[in-house]
Amino acid sequence: MKTENQSIVSEFLLLGLPIEPDQRDLFYTLFLAMYLTTVLGNLLIILLIQLDSHLHTPMYFFLSNLSFSDLCFSSVTMPELLQNMQSQVPSIPYAACLTQMYFFLFFGDLESFLLVAMAYDRYVAICFPLHYTTIMSPKLCFSLGALSWVLTTFHALLHTLLMARLCFCADNVIPHFFCDMSALLKLSCSDTRVNELVIFFAGGLILVIPFLLIITSYARILSSILKVPSSGGIRKAFSTCGSHLSVVSLFYGTVIVLYLCPSADNSAVKETVMSMMYTVVTPMLNPFIYSLRNRDMKGALGRVFRKKIFFG
C-alpha cells in the first residue's frame, strides 16, 4: 500500500439520515425545532444563573457549564445536518471534518465529566447536608470545572491527531450525518489498530468510569433517602434521581454501545439513529430535566422578569 503524509481525499460526502425525499421537509422542520429548543433552553438557563444571585451555588455553577456544553455539543452537528438536508451535494472538507470531530469529542467528553460533578454535588447535598458548604467550596467547584475542560481538551486532541495521521484513498462517503470517528476509521486505507486501541482504553476511562461514579453517587443518594420510613421519602428519592438517571442512561448507554461495544450486526442506519439520541435528544432534554422544571429556576425566572418590568 502506498503511504503518504497527506490524505488523498480532500473532502467527504455525508449521507445524512435515511429519510425519504417526500418526508425531508417534515424532518427538516422537526430537527430545526429541536435545535432551536436546545439553544433557547440552554441559553435561558445560562442567563438566569448569571442574572440571579440566588443561583450562584455549586449546583448551578455546574448546570451553567452543562448548558453551555449541551448548546455547543448540539451546534457541532445540527447546523451541518440542517444545511446538508437542503443541499444536493452534502460534502464537508477534510480539515472541517477533523475539526468537527475534535469539537464533537471535546463537548461530548465535557458533558460526561460535568455529569459526574453534578452527581457528586447532589450526593454531598443530600447525604452530608451539614457539611455541604464546607465540602463544595468555590475552590473545589472551580478545580472540578477546570479539570473537566483540561482532560477533555487532551482527549479530543489525542484522537484528532491519531486520525490526522491516517490516509483516506478512494472511498469518501460517510454513512452518517456528521464526521463520526468510527465511520472515518472504516474509510481509512491505513492501519487503524492504534486508533482502535486508544478508543477502547481511553474511552473506557472517559466514559465507563464516569458512568460508574454517577451510578454509585445516585445509589448512595437513594440509599440515604430510603432510610427515611415514609412514602414521602420514597417519592423524593424517585423525584431526585429518576429523571436524572434516565437522561444519564440515555447518554452513556448509546455512547458505550456505539464506541466501546461495537457489533458487526449494527447497520449504518441503526448507528445513525442511536447517535441522534445522544447528539440531539439528550441536549434538548437536559434543560427540562435538570433545571427548567425545578422551583429555584422558576423563582429566578419570575424575579428576573419582575426586575425587567419594574426597572426597565
Please report, for the domain that includes residue 53, its CATH number. 1.20.1070.10
Q: Where are the beta strands (DSSP E) in the chain?
A: 11-14, 91-93, 173-174
SS3 119: helix
Q: What is the pLDDT of residue 312?
A: 52
Question: Looking at the domain assignment, is residue 213 inside a domain?
Answer: yes
- Report DSSP state, residue 130: G
| Residue 4 belongs to a domain | no
- The domain of 145 spans 11-310
pLDDT score recorded for residue 28: 92
pTM equals 0.86
Tally the domains of the chain. Answer: 1
pLDDT at 232: 62
d(CA 222, CA 233): 9
User: One digit per residue, pLDDT tens: the chain, 312 residues?
Assistant: 444 444 477 889 888 887 888 888 899 999 999 999 999 999 988 998 888 888 888 988 998 999 999 999 999 999 989 988 887 778 899 999 999 999 999 999 999 899 999 899 989 988 888 999 999 999 999 999 999 999 999 999 999 999 999 988 878 888 888 998 888 998 888 888 999 899 888 877 888 888 889 989 988 888 887 776 666 656 665 666 666 777 788 788 777 777 666 555 556 677 777 788 888 888 898 888 876 567 777 777 777 777 765 555
Within-domain flag for 83: yes
Residue 227 lies in a domain: yes
pLDDT of residue 136: 93
Alpha carbon distance 234, 229 (integer Å) = 8
Residue 3 lies in a domain: no
191 is written with which cell numbers?
492501519
